[in-house]
Structure formats: structure tokens, C-alpha cells
């Protein structure tokens, strides 16, 4: 043994062992006296709440997506075989995969594809595990699936790759859908129940798409609101985006028109002008205004304002002024109010202010002030007929709730309720009543005027004979980007309230830049009828014979005659004013009516050849 283990070798081993023991002892001593570090808790991952319709139908739900990456410098064997194996699940071509790898042959990491679905991931993972493709990696990221694609897309909105809402309710309710964690603490996510009814929304979107096709319009809006509580049952803005392909959508498809677009509403605004004057006692139901084809006003300084009316209506009550949408009579009615009071009451209706609905980017519109440099002598009568004022569709509907709700407006909402993760209720909507703007008698009078318009006025094509309905149509020239008003672009709209006896629904439709026919009474009123028909059936509203007839109480009996327009002017002698009005609507003639009763004389004489833009003057007694 002494010969085998040499003394120097034993000394060397002993020194090494001693040094090692000293090292271990020193390190142990250091660790013993070092303070214990606090344990860092991992931040909990928060899932995102769902967005559902009022019945609980899913409209936006949480899911997971995967980013697929690869380390090219670790790829072994045939690159083409690898590409052929994974091309199908990735939804890529073999050449696309080869191009990525060959472009980055020495890279330590590169993405093959981002945001593949859970199903695609499961199929791809099975293949890569089976073939031992260890150099393929997956990054799991939270995401959203929108089961109804385009349905109510501007309301629902969109969530970006970073888990943050970018539009609609996804954006405005971000703090509830996915609460932030601070110092490891925070609330759980909430589920948002919209007031929208997905099934009704689908039915009305079908009607809206058909309307766009028939009118060749560029855009369209439709809002259906419950006039008893301000809840929006349907919210349509076309064109719209497929939320599952939001990144490919155009600006027009993502634009939320009812909330963000400010436009001149046209003659629908006349219901508010008459209501404001009637409510202040400046006009009454029996007042009459003479329409001679244009509103004209002169001031001492010599300035003259002229606003053209589409027809020569003769003497009209406020009810008739709305029925025939007379610009002349509405201008005269606006003269009854001072400039300041006129604008003050318009602002009290909510125009010039945001409604505060739960959507981002809402416009406040624009209302001129009488003391501003933009105000002119023609501003008030022009605003009275729905021009020179900027409104949103939401403002129009919210202001109309005052007429449907006995003079008291209601705040509009898109949120029915909010629930916690366990399903318990966190919030439930109740009607938010705003400050009264009209007397109850005023609201009743305007409703009856709108019903007259539906039965025998410009909105007759919207009327359903088995339910009472009030309507008001409007056709407005749109602003020309170069200045002034366009000669070709029109905004055609119609507001409806039904049933009149106990208003339940407000239906508002706007069609923008239709081709060909643009008169709202012809292209929008029929859409109101179709949409109302769907709403009534879907909600199970009762139907019945509800048509009302308004009459002065005086009965005159006269023989009537039927005439038709040919190449020469017919004989109007003996016709009643009512027959003349029917003839005007059917033949789109310009007729100036003087007096009342029956036609005693006419100019030009019967038999005169009919020419374009001919004006016929009839004298009645």
C-alpha cells in the first residue's frame, strides 16, 4: 500500500479536499447571513367578460389564439417535407412556408403565422408532436370570437391583439370586461348584456341590406328604441364590418354613423319646430298660414330672405303644414319665436350636446348661436325646416322620446344589465328620465299630427292599416365639400312612432346618397312599413283597425270627377281641393291654389299642351 499511494499524491488530494470544504463552509455561511428574498407572486391572468344580447345570445366571447414560430437554424431533414406536413393546418401554401425559412436560414426565431384558432392549433400540434418537429413553438394569446360576424358590429366593437378594446362596447366597457390588476388585486371580469335583440337585429339588417340594393345608396342607418324606457332594440349602421376580419375592414365599414355622423336632418325636424311653438302658446291648432310657394321675409335694411316650398299649398293649419311638409308655413311659424328662445328650446331637446350613450366618439352635432358671426336673417327659418343645423341619429331619436313619452325625454341606452362572473347581477337598467321639455298636451297634439301625416300626408306609404302610427319624412340636400349644397347627394329619412294610443316604439331610418329617386316619402316611408311590420310581429304587439280620420266638422257635398294627365291640360273646373291634392301627388305637378272650395277658373286653359315645369293656377270658391 505504501508503495502504491505516493506521499505527494496524498498530500495533493488532501489539499484539494480541504479547499473544497472551506469553499462549501464559506458559501454556506454567506447564505446563512443573507436576508430571505420575498416571494414574488405571479400576476393572475384575467379572462375577458362576454358581450351578449338582451336574451343572453353570445355576441363576443373569450377564446385563445396561437402565434406559431420556428427556429430555422434547427430544422433538420427535408425542409419541403416539413412544409408539406404543416401547410394544411396553417392555411398556407408550401411555397409560403419555404419562403419564410429560406429567407431566414440562420435565424434563432421567426413567426410562421399569427393568430391561428384553437382548432387549427390542435391539428398542427398533433402533427408537430408526431413528427418530432421540436423547433416549432407556440405562443398562447387571449382573443375574441364574434359568432354573428357583421351583426351590430359598430355597437359590439373589436378587441385588439393586446387584449384591449379598440371600438364600440369592447372599448367603452374595457374596465368592466377586463378589469386591471393593481398590486395583484382586482375585480373579476363582468358580462355585458346589450339592449339589442339579436334576432330582431338580424331581421331588420336584412331589410336594410335590401334597401341599400334597391336605392343604390352609399350608407344607411336604422334605430329602433323602446319609447317607454329608452332601450335601443336594434342599431344598424351600413356598411358594416365582419368583426372576425376587422383588420381587413374599410374605414366606411367601421364608421359608427348613428353616433359619430353629424348631418342636416331635413323636414323630420319640423315636428320639433311646431312642438316648440305650440308648447309656448305662440300658435294653436286652428291658426292658418298662407303658402304661396315660398317663404319670404324682408327687413328694414333691405335684406330679403326667400326659401322655396315644393308646392303652392294655400291656407294651412299647423297640422296641414306637417302633413304636406310645407317650408313656407314652417318659416312663418318660426317667426313667432325670438331667435334666442328658438335656439334655447332646441338645445333643451338635446341638440348640440352628446346623448352620453355607451359608445366612443359620439358627436355633439352643431347648433348656431344667434350672437355668433355665423347667424344670419335666414338661419332661424332654415333651421326650422331642418337645415343649417347638425344632428346625430341618436339625438333625433332621444328628442323624439319626448313626443312619445308625454313631453318627457328619456336617455337612450345600449346596456340592459351587467352581471358578475358567477352570473349574479351587478347592474340592471331602469328608465333614466330627463327634464320635461313639452307639456303633455303638446306631445299629444304632435302625435296626432304625425298620425295625420301617416294616414293622408307625405308619409302615407309608411302607414300600416292595422295599427296606429305617426310618421314624418324628410329629404335634405347634403353639403358639398366644395361649398354650398350638392345637387346630386340627398339624405332621405323618416321618423315613426307606434302605436299612437300608447307609444311603445320609435323607428328612425336614414338613407344617404340614394341614386335616382331620393324623395323620402317614396323610398324611406315604404321601408318604415316593412320594418314596423317585422317589429310588431316579433314583439307580439296587437293589431287592429286603428285608422283615424280628422275633419273640420263641416260637410260639403259636391259631385266629384276623375281626371288624368295626358299631353294636354285637363279641365279642373268643379274639382275640390282634396281632388286637386290627390292629382298633384299622383302626377307631380306644380299647382298654385287660390282660395278654398271648388275650382271656378284655371290658367292655363284646358287643352293647353303640357310642358316641363309648367305652373297651373287654380281659383277656388
pLDDT digits (tens, 9 = 90+) for 94-133: 999 989 888 888 888 899 998 888 889 999 999 999 988 9
Answer yes or no: is pLDDT of 39 > 90.
no
Measured at the alpha carbon of residue 67, what is the angle toward residues 44 and 62, in degrees to the nearest 5? 50
| Weakest-pLDDT range from 350-359, 421-430, 500-509, 583-592 | 583-592
Taking residues 44-62, what's their average pLDDT?
87
Q: Is the pLDDT of residue 366 over 90?
A: yes
pLDDT at 37: 44
What does each C-alpha distance from 428 to 198, 247, 398 come to in angstroms? Answer: 19, 33, 20
| Cα gap 569→587, rounded to integer Å | 12
58 by Cβ neighbours in 10 Å (0-12 / 13-18 / 19+) ranks as middle
Say how far apart CA 492 and CA 309 lie, in whole Å. 17
| Cβ–Cβ under 8 Å, residues 330 and 321 | yes
Per-residue pLDDT, 1: 47
> pLDDT tens-digit profile of 554-576?
444 444 556 677 777 788 787 77
Instruction: Please check the confidence at residue 601 and state whether its pLDDT lies above 60.
Output: yes
More confident residue, 574 or 597: 574
* Percentage of residues in the chain having pLDDT higher than 70: 88
How far is Cα 516 from Cα 514, in angstroms, rounded to an integer? 7
User: How far apart, in whole angstroms, are the C-alpha atoms of residue 593 and residue 312?
Assistant: 6
pLDDT of residue 594: 73
Does an H or E element contain 252, and which?
helix 251-254
Average pLDDT, the chain: 88
Tens-place pLDDT, residues 301-358 = 777 899 999 899 999 999 999 999 999 999 999 999 999 999 999 999 999 999 999 9
Higher pLDDT, 80 or 446: 446
pLDDT at 530 over 90: yes
Give just the sign of the alpha carbon dihedral 192, 194, 197, 202. negative
Q: Is the pLDDT of residue 45 over 60?
A: no
Q: Which helix (H) or strand (E) holds 601?
A: strand 599-603
Distance CA 469, CA 525 (A): 12
Pairwise CA distance, residues 294 & 283, whole Å:
20
Classified as helix, coil or strand, 228 is: coil
Q: Report pLDDT for 527.
A: 97
pLDDT category at 549 given cuts 50, 70, 90 is very low
Tens of pLDDT, residue by residue over 252-269, are 999 999 999 999 999 999
Q: Are 457 and 451 in contact (CB under 8 A)?
A: no
Which residues neighbour 370 within 8 Å (Cβ) at sequence distance 6 or greater?
A: 339, 340, 343, 379
338 vs 604, higher pLDDT: 338
Mean local confidence (pLDDT), 199-214? 97
CA-CA distance, 604 to 84, in Å (whole number)? 85
Amino acid at each position: 500500500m505504501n508503495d502504491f499511494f505516493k506521499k505527494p499524491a496524498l498530500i495533493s488530494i488532501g489539499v484539494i479536499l480541504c479547499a473544497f470544504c472551506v469553499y462549501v463552509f464559506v458559501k454556506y455561511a454567506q447564505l446563512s447571513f443573507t436576508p430571505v428574498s420575498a416571494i414574488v407572486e405571479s400576476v393572475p391572468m384575467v379572462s375577458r367578460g362576454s358581450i351578449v344580447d338582451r336574451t343572453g345570445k353570445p355576441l363576443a366571447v373569450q377564446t385563445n389564439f396561437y402565434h406559431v414560430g420556428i427556429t430555422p437554424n434547427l430544422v433538420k431533414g427535408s425542409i419541403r417535407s416539413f412544409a408539406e406536413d404543416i401547410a394544411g393546418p396553417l392555411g398556407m401554401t408550401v411555397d409560403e412556408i419555404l419562403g419564410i425559412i429560406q429567407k431566414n436560414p440562420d435565424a434563432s426565431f421567426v413567426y410562421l403565422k399569427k393568430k391561428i384558432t384553437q382548432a387549427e392549433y390542435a391539428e398542427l400540434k398533433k402533427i408537430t408532436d408526431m413528427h418530432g418537429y421540436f423547433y416549432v413553438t407556440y405562443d398562447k394569446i387571449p382573443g375574441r370570437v364574434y359568432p354573428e360576424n357583421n351583426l351590430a358590429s359598430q355597437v359590439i366593437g373589436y378587441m385588439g391583439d393586446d387584449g384591449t378594446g379598440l371600438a364600440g362596447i369592447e372599448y367603452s366597457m374595457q374596465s368592466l370586461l377586463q378589469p386591471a390588476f393593481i398590486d395583484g388585486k382586482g375585480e373579476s371580469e363582468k358580462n355585458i348584456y346589450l339592449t339589442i335583440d339579436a334576432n330582431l337585429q338580424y331581421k331588420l339588417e336584412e331589410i336594410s341590406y335590401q334597401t341599400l340594393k334597391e336605392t343604390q345608396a352609399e350608407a344607411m342607418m336604422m334605430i329602433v328604441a323602446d319609447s317607454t324606457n329608452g332601450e335601443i332594440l336594434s342599431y344598424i349602421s351600413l356598411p358594416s364590418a365582419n368583426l372576425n376580419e376587422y383588420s381587413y375592414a374599410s374605414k366606411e365599414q367601421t364608421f359608427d354613423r348613428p353616433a359619430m355622423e353629424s348631418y342636416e336632418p331635413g323636414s323630420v325636424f319640423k315636428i320639433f319646430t311646431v312642438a316648440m311653438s305650440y308648447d309656448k302658446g305662440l300658435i294653436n291648432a286652428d291658426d292658418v298660414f298662407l303658402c304661396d310657394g315660398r317663404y319670404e321675409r324682408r327687413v328694414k335694411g333691405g335684406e330679403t330672405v326667400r326659401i322655396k316650398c315644393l308646392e303652392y299649398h294655400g291656407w294651412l293649419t299647423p297640422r296641414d303644414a306637417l302633413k304636406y311638409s310645407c317650408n313656407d308655413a314652417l318659416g312663418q311659424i318660426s317667426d313667432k319665436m325670438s331667435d334666442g328662445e328658438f335656439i334655447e328650446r332646441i338645445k333643451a331637446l338635446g341638440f348640440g350636446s352628446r346623448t352620453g350613450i355607451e359608445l366612443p366618439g359620439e358627436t355633439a352635432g352643431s347648433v348656431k348661436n344667434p350672437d355668433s358671426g355665423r347667424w344670419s336673417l335666414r338661419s332661424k327659418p332654415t333651421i326650422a325646416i331642418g337645415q343649417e343645423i347638425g344632428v346625430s341619429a341618436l339625438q333625433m331619436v332621444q328628442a323624439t322620446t319626448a313626443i312619445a313619452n308625454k313631453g318627457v325625454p328619456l336617455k337612450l341606452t345600449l346596456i340592459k344589465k351587467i352581471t358578475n362572473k358567477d352570473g349574479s347581477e351587478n347592474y340592471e337598467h331602469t328608465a333614466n328620465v330627463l327634464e320635461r321639455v313639452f307639456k303633455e298636451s303638446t306631445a299629444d297634439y304632435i302625435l296626432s299630427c304625425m298620425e295625420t301625416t301617416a294616414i293622408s300626408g307625405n308619409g302615407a306609404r309608411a302607414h300600416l292599416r292595422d295599427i296606429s302610427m305617426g310618421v314624418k319624412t324628410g329629404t335634405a340636400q347634403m353639403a358639398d365639400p366644395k361649398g354650398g349644397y350638392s345637387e346630386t347627394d340627398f339624405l332621405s329619412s323618416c321618423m315613426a312612432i307606434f302605436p299612437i294610443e300608447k307609444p311603445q316604439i320609435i323607428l328612425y331610418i336614414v338613407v344617404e346618397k340614394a341614386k335616382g329617386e331620393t324623395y323620402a316619402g317614396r323610398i324611406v316611408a315604404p321601408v318604415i312599413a316593412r320594418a314596423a311590420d317585422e317589429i310588431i310581429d316579433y314583439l307580439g304587439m296587437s293589431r287592429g283597425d286603428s285608422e283615424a280620420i280628422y275633419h273640420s266638422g263641416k260637410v260639403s257635398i259636391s259631385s266629384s270627377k276623375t281626371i288624368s294627365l295626358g299631353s294636354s291640360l285637363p279641365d279642373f273646373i268643379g274639382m275640390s281641393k282634396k281632388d286637386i291634392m290627390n292629382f298633384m301627388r299622383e302626377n307631380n305637378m306644380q299647382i298654385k291654389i287660390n282660395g278654398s272650395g271648388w275650382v271656378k277658373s284655371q290658367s292655363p286653359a284646358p287643352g293647353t299642351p303640357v310642358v316641363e315645369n309648367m305652373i297651373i293656377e287654380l281659383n277656388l270658391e
